[in-house]
Chain A
Amino acid sequence: QSVLTQPPSASGTPGQRVTISCSGSSSNIGSYNVYWYQQLPGTAPKLLIYLNNQRPSGVPDRFSGSKSGTSASLAISGLRSEDEADYYCAAWDASLSGWVFGGGTKLTVL
């Protein structure tokens, strides 16, 4: 059972907007920045969002992140077939003195 809670799956049709939630606590999301990673099938994870809502160079602006209290969200607008992947949230946890990941959300583009 992961410290950060994500829905196991999400889906949408091309062009739609989907949101993936990440729920934590005061010792992690409530106090520290949230990061999102995309893992395409058979590949290594890739940083998608850092510092809650910042996009690395090369990440399309269709991807956006937000944080409120002890929860965070990743939104993907204009859904495309190549967005089909696993998405993970992560944050530092002060109680554990370590990084924690969400269990991951498998996004299916219908």
Chain B
Amino acid sequence: EVQLVESGGGLVQPGGSLRLSCTASGFIFSNYWMYWVRQAPGKGLEWVANIKQDASEIYYVDSVKGRFTVSRDKAQSSLFLQMNSLRAEDTAVYYCAAGDSMDVWGQGTTVTVSS
């Protein structure tokens, strides 16, 4: 079964850091683009970042540039999102997705930035 499972979310104070993980199974992880997409409470979807199969291309939405870093590990079939200098507006459910068309999505992990 093709599956993505996110973890690492939680409550963090403004200015703090979190590292999200997304573990893939049921497909060849190294063959696909990977994405992070977030959804603030009651709001729509917002693309955050994506990374090519070999990490040779990485893109970020402007609002997270310089604060978030996306990476991937072929051996672990895992995608990561290192989030630093977190702000209240980063509060959201963070989804990872896989495939050229964001074909497969995980169930999401919740990040809450609050004092």
Residues of A within 8 A of B (CB): 2, 35, 37, 39, 44-47, 50-51, 56, 86, 88, 90, 96-104
Contacts and interface: CB of A to CB of B under 8 A. Distances in A.
B108 A44 contact: yes
Interface string B79-115: 0000000000000000101010111111110000000
7 contacts: A39-B45, A46-B105, A86-B44, A90-B102, A97-B59, A101-B44, A101-B47
Contacts of B60: 98
A50 B103 contact: yes
Interface residues of B, number: 22
Interface of B is mostly: strand
Interface of B: 35, 37, 44-47, 50, 59-62, 95, 97, 99, 101-108
Contacts of B35: 99
Contacts of B47: 90, 98-101
A98 B95 contact: no
A44 B107 contact: yes
B52 to A, nearest CB: 13
Contacts of B62: 96, 98
B101 A45 contact: no
Contacts, number: 55
A90 B37 CA distance: 12
A98 to B, nearest CB: 5
A98 B106 CA distance: 20
Given A98-B59, A99-B50, A47 B101 contact: yes
B27 to A, nearest CB: 14
Contacts of B108: 44
Q: Ordered nearest first, which 4 A-B pairs have the shortest CB separation? A: A50-B101, A99-B47, A104-B44, A44-B105
